[in-house]
Amino acid sequence: MKILVIGSGGREHALVWKLAQSKKVEKIWAAPGNGGTSGEDKTENFLMDIDPGDIEGQKILLDFAQKEKIDLTVVGPETPLAAGIVDKFRAAGLAIVGPDSKAARLESSKVFSNTFMNHYGVRAPKRKNFSDPAAAIEYAQGHFGKKRRADETPVPLVIKADGLASGKGVVIAGTLDEAKECLSSFMKKSSLGSAGKNILFEEFIEGREVSVMAAVSVSPGKKPVIKPFISARDHKSRFEGGKGPNTGGMGAIAPVPDFTARIQKDFANAIVAPTLKGMIAENMDYRGFIFFGLMVKDDQCYLLEYNVRLGDPETQALLPLLDSDFYELCLSILDGSLSSFNLKWKKEFSCAPVVVVSGYPGSYPKGLPVAMNTTRLEKLGAKVFVAGAQRGGGGHLGSGLRTSGGRVLAVSCLGADQSEAHRRAYEALGFINFEGMDYRKDIGKASSADNGKADGSDGGNG
């Protein structure tokens, strides 16, 4: 079978790596891929200069898929999904995993997803929409002006942009001035383009964040099912203990030890069941993956967001634990047999810290040669998933990679428990080096405040 994987990050590298393990997969094209995907078995990068999120890019991808007779396309990021790549491929009779553009509104419009959650009874923080900046500022004034004891700090106000904002659409304002600055930037100065024209205020819930991804097969005439994967946790803050600015993810663990059986039951009842009911009632064509961004407080799950794709970097922690054929899983999503698909997970734990260039998420240099002792990494059982690096010579010890982004790679290691996985992953980081290499030291560390507790942006509606 010939597979096309769309996207260029660490998540797509993990997808390519896992798909390549299937005996049925002969060839994988990664469009555009990165310096990691091109080094995987059976895989070739192509179309390095197209944007899968724009109309022209999608036309080129569709032409390519038809010409090459691609058997299955897997879409990594949300932008092509929101822009209708699934609709176009299906209209042309091609098999593609992902929701159509109507179903993708669960991520591309916060106003739509909030209405959906309310209507179908998905447990979520309370929210209020605004399209008028003056009315939004008045609401913020009311929130921060509420009478409270002199020693009490105000409850933060969570502000979410309605549209896709590449991870920049959520601000937790601790003061009225911060709220006003954000509202002015989103709604008046259009700092996020059209994404911030409408906003939502969201009730701040302090708890532990958990990501649960799932396979979804909902389409008219087929048996509808959402099959959750084991849990994972991203660590979005740049520095240890949940400090510093938000990033695209500084590392992930899976499964999450504090996501207990009792909480999983609550998740199934309060989040998954009403979501499935809503998808069926809305006649959605959703054959792909979904990401539930949860806040867990007092053993109860609240849904902060849906993403209509797999998480990054959660996928890099999760896929090494998957003991089933990912290609077969994709087929079962498409042909309606997902409910009987045997999803098997290794009884181990995974830890995947992300390596960045010093300066990230601010400005940072590019083109730095990456040194990697692949023999030692392999001996440790470590798997490197590249995000922001391309093949371009340089580097010694055979890596051949040069950095091209701020988040360069993730190193995934497994262990019998979370602390063993953590120890191995950090030992593995000792076999990678480049100028300005940096990473958080506490991903998966049992004693760390960064086990998902509310400690700034790692633990509150991020």
Which residue ranges make up the site for ligand GLY (CB under 6 A)? 234, 249, 291, 307, 311-312, 314
CB of 312 to ligand GLY, least distance (A): 5
- Residue 233 near residue 446 (C-beta atoms within 8 A): no
Cβ of residue 153: shortest distance to ligand GLY, in angstroms?
Answer: 28
Check: CB of residue 247 under 8 Å from CB of residue 238: yes
Burial class (CB in 10 A: 0-12, 13-18, 19+), 184: middle
Element counts in the chain: helices (H) and strands (E): 14, 24
State the nearest-atom distance from the C-beta of 213 to ligand GLY, in Å. Answer: 9
Stated as kind and residue range, the H or E segment containing 60 is helix 55-68
Helix (H) / strand (E) containing 228: strand 225-234
Which residue, 249 or 320, is less far from ligand GLY as judged by CB?
A: 249
Q: Does residue 91 sit in helix, strand or coil?
A: helix
Residue number, 301 or 377, with CB nearest to ligand GLY: 301
Q: Which residues pair with 279 in a beta bridge?
A: none
CB nearer to ligand GLY: pick between 100 and 458? 458
Task: Give whichever of 249 and 406 is closer to ligand GLY, judged by the CB atom.
Answer: 249
The C-alpha atoms of residue 386 and residue 33 are separated, in whole angstroms, by: 10
**In one letter, which amino acid is 237?**
S
Of 108 and 307, the one with the shorter C-beta distance to ligand GLY is: 307
Structure token digits, residue 286: 């959703």
Taking the least distance from each CB to ligand GLY, the nearer of 130 and 291 is 291
Characterize the bridge pairing of strands 27-32 and 2-7.
parallel
- Nearer Cβ to ligand GLY, position 291 or 426? 291
Q: Which is nearer to ligand GLY, 167 or 436 (CB)?
A: 167
Which residue's CB atom is positioned nearest to ligand GLY?
A: 311
Least separation in angstroms between residue 318's CB and ligand GLY is 11
Three-state secondary structure readout of 128-165: EEECCHHHHHHHHHHHHHCCCCCCCCCCCEEEEECCCC
State the minimum distance, in angstroms, from the CB of residue 416 to ligand GLY: 25
CA 95 to chain centre: 23
Euclidean distance between the first and the last CA atom of the chain, given in angstroms as a whole number: 39
Shortest distance (Å) from residue 55 CB to ligand GLY: 24
CA-to-CA distance for 77 and 307, rounded, in angstroms? Answer: 10
Is the CB of residue 65 less than 8 Å from the CB of residue 4? yes
> How far is Cα of residue 238 from the mean position of the Cα atoms in its chain?
16
CB of 438 to ligand GLY, least distance (A): 19
Cα-based angle 367, 369, 372 (whole degrees, multiple of 5): 145
Q: What is the smallest separation between the CB atom of 310 and ligand GLY, expressed in angstroms?
A: 7
CB of 278 or CB of 311, closer to ligand GLY? 311
Q: How far is the CB of 352 from ligand GLY (least distance, A)?
A: 11
Token pair for residue 124?
Answer: 């979520």
